[in-house]
Structure 1
Amino acid sequence: MALQHGNPADLLPVHWKSQITAWFAEDTPSFDYGGFVVGDSPRTATLYGKSPGILAGVPFFDEVFAQAGCIVQWHLKEGEFVDPGPSGKLAVATVSGPVRKLLLGERVALNTLSRCSGIATKSHATDVLIRKAGYTGILAGTRKTTPGFRLVEKYGMIIGGVDGHRHDLSSMTMLKDNHIWARGSITEAVRAAKTIGGFPLKVEVEVDSEKDADEAIEAGADIVMLDNFSGEGLKIAASSIKQRWAGKKQFLLECSGGLTSDNIKAYVNNDIDIISTSSIHQGVPHVDFSLKIDH
């Protein structure tokens, strides 16, 4: 799997490398005792892929070793499939530098690459699943990401070929049940959101009934999320809402709530424009990588 246009690393903001520095500070807060044992002699190490999956997280892996004073040479490209084959391992990259620095960066780099690749792999597999079931809309992740690790997780979704949805609270105004209850009504909440966010920010409203969906659409919501509907209930509601508002208002319908690869096909419905799920990035299996000093 690969993005069709451009270099995925160009997506990353200017400040992202400081996160790598913070990871090093967490992992080695004082002395590197093991590094003292092995010393600074120049060595090479091979990165092996040991389970099948999509390679994702190359920029993070590169930066870990760049900050450690090492050089990475890749044998696969970002987004390509790792297939260990009968041998159980595939040489994915070669890392060279002082041996203590190779080991200093090893675990930080592997943890990041394994997690990011796991998300890309699960994202791609789920996308393939719903396409086979006939879905033509958008599959998206959610904001249920790990604090401090969001950039990596959202990046993995994109490499896996799915939409990252909103990346943070500033990306879009999503009005959930707590917002509605606190403000007093859907109409009042949407009006306030439109006033403060202006034309650049879309407003999405989470609803659990057709009645609330109608109120959100009437108030000017750009996206209406039908939350925690059953598969059949979703199809009935989505069709009814789209027919009722045809030619009157422009909006997108999204569904979410408890969707997994085991049940998602039941929700495939092309009256729904966006299917969002946290199952493509929460609790997903990692792709297994190891780094071995060449000897």
Structure 2
Amino acid sequence: MSSTNQSTSPSFEHLLPPHWSTLVTEWLKEDTPSFDYGGFVVGEKEETAVLLGKSPGVVAGKPFFDQVFSQLGCRVEWIVPEGESFEPITKVAYVYGPARQLLMGERVALNMLARCSGIATRARRLRSIKEAHGFQGIIAGTRKTTPGFRIVEKYAMLVGGIDTHRMDLSSSIMLKDNHIWSQGSITAAVHKARQAGGFSIKIEVECQSEAEADEAITAGADIVMLDNFDGPGLQAAAESLRQRWTRQGRPDVLIEASGGITEETIADYFSPHINIISLGSVTQGVPHVDFSLKIQKKQ
């Protein structure tokens, strides 16, 4: 069965930093630290392998997949473009090269592609829910990513059509309960963060109540995260904060909802007063898309 929905995603490959290909090198070193016994069996004969999509999903991870096989002297020809969805069973790509090299890259490339595509697929569904309900805010992932694999997972969010949130601890300042407890108050924590971050780094404060959000905004926070509210409670708190702080000259403050929100419950949190909804479930516990790579039999 051929692919279904045309991709609306731009190419994000040029966002990748100069060192990203070394990540792929480390993956290959991890999987073949010494002798390649199976490769000895199949040898160097030139073969063609077909990448099959065996469960529905959005293709994501093309540059990483390409780099795996490029480093092994193979060539990839894509049939389904990155960002496009497909139904099983679909021929997604062909890979050309020596049998030994094809099989050396197979599991590394498939493991990456399965997870990257799984995250992009969930992100695409979240974006579709947002569009269906007319929500004007941002849907974002979180920093709950796999150590050593974050760039792939954040890349998948972009392909799926949602925001990456902050990339790392250096991207913005998020003050959570431990930061606040260490300083004794939200106000003290925000003031100390501003000393370090200056004018160019945004400060976000995790808040458990409207009163905490009021203190954070008064202290100069740019974003307040309403954490672990239920849907109706969040909508009421966000509306109250928006009205109050618009009257007090801070209509620019951003309000984020987070904590326990899932694909199944996200619509309960949509509100014209919410700017951002972030979900750790974009990366945690996400189902992978099933792919296989099969060397074609000679007729």
Same fold per superposition (TM over 0.5): yes
Moved more, 183-192 or 171-180: 183-192
| Equivalent in 245, 262, 265 of residue 263 of structure 1 | 265
Which residue of structure 1 aligns with residue 238 of structure 2? 238
Which residue of structure 2 aligns with residue 19 of structure 1? 23
Moved more, 39-48 or 262-271: 262-271
SS of residue in 1 equivalent to 2:282: coil
SS of residue in 2 equivalent to 1:31: coil
Which residue of structure 1 aligns with residue 82 of structure 2? 78
Q: How far is the alpha carbon of 1:169 from its aligned partner? A: 0.5
Which residue of structure 1 aligns with residue 198 of structure 2? 198
Which residue of structure 1 aligns with residue 72 of structure 2? 68
Which residue of structure 1 aligns with residue 211 of structure 2? 211
Which residue of structure 1 aligns with residue 102 of structure 2? 102
Cα distance in 1 for partners of 2:145, 2:199 equals 27
Over 3 Å counting, the alpha-carbon distance change for 1:200 and 1:281 in structure 2 is same
Which residue of structure 2 aligns with residue 172 of structure 1? 172
Query: Are 1:176 and 1:205, in contact at CA under 8 Å, matched by a contact in 2?
Result: yes
| Equivalent in 31, 37, 42 of residue 38 of structure 1 | 42
Cα distance in 2 for partners of 1:200, 1:63 equals 35
**TM-score when scaled to structure 2?**
0.94
Query: How many equivalent pairs are there?
Result: 290
Q: How far is the alpha carbon of 1:98 from its aligned partner? A: 0.8
Query: Are 1:226 and 1:256, in contact at CA under 8 Å, matched by a contact in 2?
Result: yes
Amino acid at match of 1:101: Q
Q: How far is the alpha carbon of 1:130 from its aligned partner? A: 2.9
Query: Are 1:3 and 1:159, in contact at CA under 8 Å, matched by a contact in 2?
Result: no
SS of residue in 2 equivalent to 1:14: coil
Which residue of structure 2 aligns with residue 91 of structure 1? 91
Q: How far is the alpha carbon of 1:131 from its aligned partner? A: 2.7
**TM-score when scaled to structure 1?**
0.96
Which residue of structure 2 aligns with residue 10 of structure 1? 14
Amino acid at match of 2:84: E
Query: Are 2:9 and 2:159, in contact at CA under 8 Å, matched by a contact in 1?
Result: no
Q: Deviations over 1:38-81 (max 9, x none)?
A: 11111111111111111100000000000111000111211011
Q: Deviations over 1:119-141 (max 9, x none)?
A: 00001101212332331100000
Runs of 4+ displaced beyond 6 Å: none
Cα distance in 2 for partners of 1:133, 1:208 equals 27
Moved more, 131-140 or 212-221: 131-140
Between the two proteins, what is the percent identity of the paired residues?
A: 59
Cα distance in 2 for partners of 1:77, 1:265 equals 30
What RMSD over aligned residues (CA atoms) do the two structures have, in Å?
A: 1.1
Query: Are 1:2 and 1:159, in contact at CA under 8 Å, matched by a contact in 2?
Result: no
Q: How far is the alpha carbon of 1:2 from its aligned partner? A: 3.8
Query: Are 1:204 and 1:224, in contact at CA under 8 Å, matched by a contact in 2?
Result: yes
